[in-house]
Each structure stands twice: as structure tokens, then as C-alpha cells.
Amino acid sequence: MPKKELVLETFSKISNVYDYMNDFMTLGMHRDWKNLLIKEVFKFYKDSDILDIGSGTGDLVFLIKKDFPSAKVVALDINDSMLKKLKRKLEKNNIKDVEIVKSFAEDMPFGNETFGAVVSSYTIRNLEDIERSFKEIYRVIKKPGVFGFLELSEPKIFKKLFWLYLDKILPFLGGKLGCKEEYEYLGRSLRAFLSPEDIVSLLKSVGFSRVYIARVCAGVSTIYIAIKS
């Protein structure tokens, strides 16, 4: 099965438990990490529209609107189930100035230099063509502008415990909710993903002038900040 179809099917199946499982499997810490990402991005943000790639149920959207309520945010995802949940949450919380767009990151329907910032959380490793996506992201960011994202990474310590958790414990818990295979995908997707060092090199190769990384929770996740100048 092509990766795009696999990812679409996987996240459609877990859409109803997605928010709950994110909180459960990180003990709620993913919200702190996402908040840190947004704070880092806004150090370089220059007051323009913001694009959230792989927006899902909208964690980053709500963080942005909380601290910057006047910001215009575009939430991009390919998954109808996730986007429906996002739309309901926006309406429930009366959040305005959020446009929902259904599109793949590899071929986005935006003009050159449209956004002052692009953000994403736990989406990049799911993209079918990461290099092409990075080129598209670079294209739609203004000068100066910033691309910031959060992604899983292998920690420097407790590696065996980390992989036991990803390979055995999470699929077992997901199985209790009827999503065992979907949570087995988590470990597989990380094993197939590029290292942080390779990600930095790739970002620079598509044109970003400076790239910073910050490891969180002993390296379980990594924040990437790429500057277009």
C-alpha cells in the first residue's frame, strides 16, 4: 500500500481516540512540547498568515489563537475525519480566522511567499516525499519567515525502554481500543524516519539559511526551527 494511503487509513481509524491517546501516551506532556514549539517559532514570526501542516484536530491552531488571537491560520490536512473534528472544535470554541484546507503537503494550493510562518507537529515523518514537501514549504514561506516543527526522535538514553514502549506497550494499549495495528505504525514510522542530523541537512539543501534543533524530554521529541532569510 502506498504511504499516502496507509497514513490516511491509519489516522482515519484512530481519529476518535487520537486526542485521548496523545494525552495518555505522553502523560499530557505533548501539549507542553507543542507550546514550546510555538514559542520558538514566534521568536522569528513577522506578523503574517500562519500555515499548520497536518493540523489534525488542531492542537497547534488552538495554541496559536490563544496567544495570538488576531493571527489568520490555515489548517491543512488530508484526512476528512480529522478535519471534521477540527471544524467542530473551532465552532464549539467560537474560534475565528481559521481556514481549513484539504491538501497533501507535497503539492499545496498556495502562491509563493504566502505565509510568515509554517508549523507542524508529528506530521513530517508521515509524508510520502519529505524533500518535495520541504521544497513546497520553503516556496510558500515569505522572506523573512520561519518553519518550525515537532517530531519524534530516538532518545539518547533509555533507548531499550523507549522502543519497548513504542513496539509493545502502545500497540497493546491501542488494541484495547481496537487500534493495535495503527499504533504499531508509530514505531515503524520512526524507524524509517531520517535522523535529526539528516533532517537539518535536508532543510538546508532546499534553501533554509539557518536551522536550529532542540531536544525535549531526553530526546523523545525534537523541535526544528528553519529560517528563510
| Threshold 0.85, pTM exceeds | yes
> How far apart are the C-alpha atoms of 124 and 213, rounded to whole Å?
15
pLDDT computed for residue 170 by the predictor:
82
Take residue 36 and report the three cell numbers written for it: 514550546
pLDDT tens sequence for the chain (229 residues): 556 665 556 555 555 666 666 666 777 788 899 999 999 999 988 778 999 999 999 999 999 999 888 889 999 999 898 899 999 999 999 998 999 999 999 999 999 999 999 999 999 999 999 999 999 999 999 999 999 999 999 998 889 998 998 899 888 887 877 778 877 878 888 999 999 999 999 999 999 999 999 999 889 999 999 999 9
- Considering only CA atoms, which of 109, 128, 124, 117 is closest in space to residue 52? 117
- Alpha-carbon span 214 to 197, nearest angstrom: 12
Strand order in the sheet with 210-216: 98-102, 73-77, 50-53, 115-121, 141-152, 221-228, 210-216
* Predicted pLDDT of residue 177: 74
In the prediction, which pLDDT does 7 show? 57
Predicted local confidence at residue 49, as pLDDT:
93
Beta strands in 2-72 (DSSP E): 50-53
Q: What pLDDT is recorded for position 10?
A: 59
Q: Going by DSSP bridges, is the β-strand pair 98-102/210-216 parallel, antiparallel, or unpaired? A: unpaired
